[in-house]
Structure 1
Amino acid sequence: MVGNRAVAYVGAGNVEVKDIDYPELILRDGPGVHPLNVGRKCEHGVIVKVITTNICGSDQHMVRGRTTAPEGLILGHEITGEVIETGRDVEFIKKGDMVSVPFNIACGRCQSCKEQNTHVCLNVNPDRPGSAYGYVDMGGWVGGQSEYVMVPYADFQLLTFPDKEQAMDKILDLTMLSDIFPTGFHGAYSAGVKPGSTVYVAGAGPVGLAAAHSAQLLGASVVIVGDLIPERLEQARSFGCETVNLRDHDNLGEQIEQILGVPEVDSAIDAVGFEASGHGQDAKEAPATVLNSIMDVTRAAGQLGIPGLYVTEDPGAADKAAQQGSLSIRFGLGWAKGHTFVTGQTPVMQYHRSLLNSILHGKANIAKAVNATLISLDEAPQGYNEFDSGVAKKFVIDPHNMFSK
């Protein structure tokens, strides 16, 4: 019997590579699996040999102990791989297909899925709409930072690459299609970015960098990226972004004015989420900072894309309100300025095929933008530690050591 190894959350600040069961076309009981999902049969699913799987900032929130994730949870929702087994009810996906797996788990049958809102599928998570692999309160679907993983509803969800050899050559770009590239693009698209737009992106982590590159693809004239970490700002400048160091200056509008001549932008993107920090030398965690600041610097009738993660429970928050996901947001300011807000998980399937074509035809260079960095499965704990320190890298795990570094 083939074995399986995976990255498991083992307590605040720690992950370990563990031996786990080889996947089946059924959801077994385990850490985080919802009782109503235990024993769920998935003959519509496939077993995927994981070729690449990425460490995401959303994973990092759990590893920091900022959620109610149970110990033993198998992590990983950014999955690219080869189909090696198909369920009885799979008709179109074939063994040997190389595929990108959307991080949203979606049935394809419910009202949400039929309306392309696959981020809020009604049938995969007994607790609430929406689900994902290896994530807290998302139904308990086993994560994909592993050698092998089960993927349900394969015919509906999977994006098949047209040529395997070509895909392997472009793997560092294509691995971003499961989450980070569509998420960054969704942030820019939902912020209304169009040719000539001026755009502010809060956060120069991987999602922020993906959003900045996406804004460029959509035709923005100027993309300004703000962060507290110089190394990340340098990475943003490496592909043509303007930057503002929020540690050195606490007035974002003034910094934008120095670049544009006016203190406002057409569109803004929150790529930070609930672990936001204040601005300035003595900045501390202040979870509403980004939302309030982007309302302040976005022009009247502008749009705000908010792909940054916000949660309903944050046990590590500094105050009781934030622990329940309640933030001191200046909603009246956004209302007065007529802003449009778009929040929530990204409906990956709305974007991934178009972004695939952009990669294959040389229009998108997402791996360069986010500084994709290969590591082995055994190096995953070190990767988590480095990512937590703020390095300007997007770590891509190679579970089977298929690629030379």
Structure 2
Amino acid sequence: MAGNRAVVYDRPGRVEISDIAYPELILRDGPGVNPLNVGRKCEHGVILKVITTNICGSDQHMVRGRTTAPSGLVLGHEITGEVIEVGRDVEFIKKGDLVSVPFNIACGRCRNCKERNTNVCTNVNPDRPGSAYGYVDMGGWVGGQSEYVMVPYADFQLLKFPDKDRAMEKILDLTMLSDIFPTGYHGAVSAGVRPGSTVYIAGAGPVGLAAAHSAQLLGASVVIVGDLNAERLAQARSFGCETVNLREHANLAEQIDQILGVPEVDCAVDCVGFEAHGHGKSHGEAPATVLNSIMEVTRAGGRLGIPGLYVTGDPGAVDEDAKIGTLKIRFGLGWAKSHTFVTGQTPVMQYNRELMSAILSGRAQIAKAVNATLISLDEAPAAYSEFDQGASKKFVIDPHGSVRR
């Protein structure tokens, strides 16, 4: 039997490359696995040889020690792979298929899945609706920053690429379909972006850049991206966005006014989440900053897409309330302006097929927008460190050297 190497969370600030068990069509006990999921049989699943798997900002929250993730947790929820083994109950997915794996684990049988809300499947996580690979409190499904991984409910979940050779030519774009591209797109759709819209994107990390590119695809007339990181803002400008450096300019509304002639936008997207910082040179962590600022600059009647991650448990939070996800949000302002808020995990399966078509047709250039950077599995720990320091890159791990350089 083949071995299996993976990126494993060790302790705050440290990940390691470790030997882990080769996957089976059953969920074994291990770090982070919910006891009620131990022994769960998955004959409806497949084993994948991982072709690409990406480092996500959500992974970084765990690695920083800002969640209750246990030592030994195998990381990785952005997975693209080749099917090498199929379970007894798999009917339509075949060995050799090249597939994208939605980061949401979904059964396809519960009420939420049948209503296309695969982000809150009720059958895969005994703790609460919704699950993901390699993530704390998500049921314990083993992560995919590895050489091989098991994926359950294969017939329902997997997005098969129609032509393997053509897919491999665009693999740095297609690898973004498991999470980042649908998540950015969902943020823009939730915010109501349409032709002619003016849009503010909070955060120029990979999800923010994906949201900005998505807003352009949806026809926005002006996309403004705000961040504290000059390198990431330069990346946003590289594909036509306006930018605001919030380290240098604390007043967001004034900066929007200088760009648009009015101090507000039609809609806004929060791509930062719970580790948000205040604005200005002496900024510190202030987790409600982005939510409050996007309410301030979004016009009355506008919509706010919030794909940025907010958690119910943050041991490193700045105060006791924030440690349980209670933030000082100016909800009265949002109410007074009749804002619509859309939050939560992205239901990837609502978007990934159409975004695949946009990539294969050349309409979407997501790898370029997020500066996709290919690395080996052994380079992952250094990439985590570089990403944590604000590098404007989307790191794509190639565990087997499958991607043509």
Into which bin does the TM-score normalised by the smaller protein fall? over 0.9
Secondary structure of the 1:320 match is coil
What stretches of structure 1 move > 4 A for 4+ residues in a row? none
CA shift for structure 1 position 401: 1.2
Q: Deviations over 1:7-45 (max 9, x none)?
A: 000000000000001000000000000000000000000
- Could you tell me which amino acid in structure 2 is paired with residue 20 of structure 1? I
Give distance in 2, aligned partners of 1:63 and 1:211: 24
Query: Pairwise mapping of residues 127-146 of structure 1 onto structure 2 (< 5 A)?
Result: 127-146=127-146
Cα distance, 1:404 vs. partner?
4.4
Q: Deviations over 1:111-139 (max 9, x none)?
A: 00000000000000000000000000000
| 2:34 is aligned with 1:37 | no
Residue identity in the other structure for 2:52: T
Within 5 A, what are the aligned runs for 1:161-176? 161-176=161-176
Matches within 5 A, 1:331-346: 331-346=331-346
2:6 matched to which residue of 1? 6
Q: Which one-letter code corresponds to 2:77 in the other structure?
A: H
1:3-402 equivalences in 2 (<5 Å) = 3-402=3-402
Give the deviation of 1:317 after TM superposition: 0.3
Amino acid at match of 1:99: V
Counterpart-to-counterpart distance in 2, 1:18 and 1:324: 32
AA matched with 1:70:
P
**Alpha-carbon offset, residue 86 of structure 1:** 0.2
**Unaligned 5+ runs, structure 1:** none
SS at 1:10's partner residue?
strand
Alpha-carbon distance between aligned partners in 1 of 2:228 and 2:143, rounded to the nearest angstrom: 31
Task: Tell me the distance in 2 between the aligned counterparts of 1:342 and 1:148.
Answer: 34
Q: Deviations over 1:221-247 (max 9, x none)?
A: 000000001000000000000000000
Aligned partners of 2:51 and 2:403 also within 8 Å: no
Q: TM-score, normalised by structure 2?
A: 1.00
Uncovered stretches (5+) of structure 2, i.e. residues with no partner: none
Give the match's secondary structure for 1:311: coil
Q: Distance in 1 between matches of 2:296 and 2:388?
A: 29
Instruction: Give the distance between the partners of 1:374 and 1:285, measured in 2 at CA.
Output: 31
Q: Distance in 2 between matches of 1:354 and 1:121?
A: 22
State the alpha-carbon separation in 2 of the partners of residues 9 and 232 from structure 1.
26
Could you tell me how far apart the structure 1 residues matched to 2:319 and 2:244 are? 29
Q: Paired residues, what number?
A: 405
TM-score with structure 1 setting the length:
1.00
The 1-side partners of 2:346 and 2:87 are apart by 27
Rounded to whole Å, the distance in 2 between the matches of 1:401 and 1:354 is 28
For residue 403 of structure 1, report the CA deviation from its aligned partner. Answer: 2.5
> How many percent identity over aligned positions?
82
Q: Could you tell me which amino acid in structure 2 is paired with residue 346 of structure 1?
A: T
Q: Give the Cα–Cα distance (whole angstroms) in 2 for the partners of residues 231 and 266 of structure 1.
A: 26
What SS does structure 2 have at the residue aligned with 1:257? helix
Question: Is the CA contact 2:168–2:403 (under 8 Å) kept in the aligned structure 1?
Answer: no
**Equivalent-residue separation in structure 1 for 2:330 and 2:68 (angstroms):** 28
Q: Which amino acid aligns with 1:82?
A: E
**CA displacement, residues 153-181 of structure 1 (integer Å, 9 cap, x when unaligned):** 00000000000000000000000000000
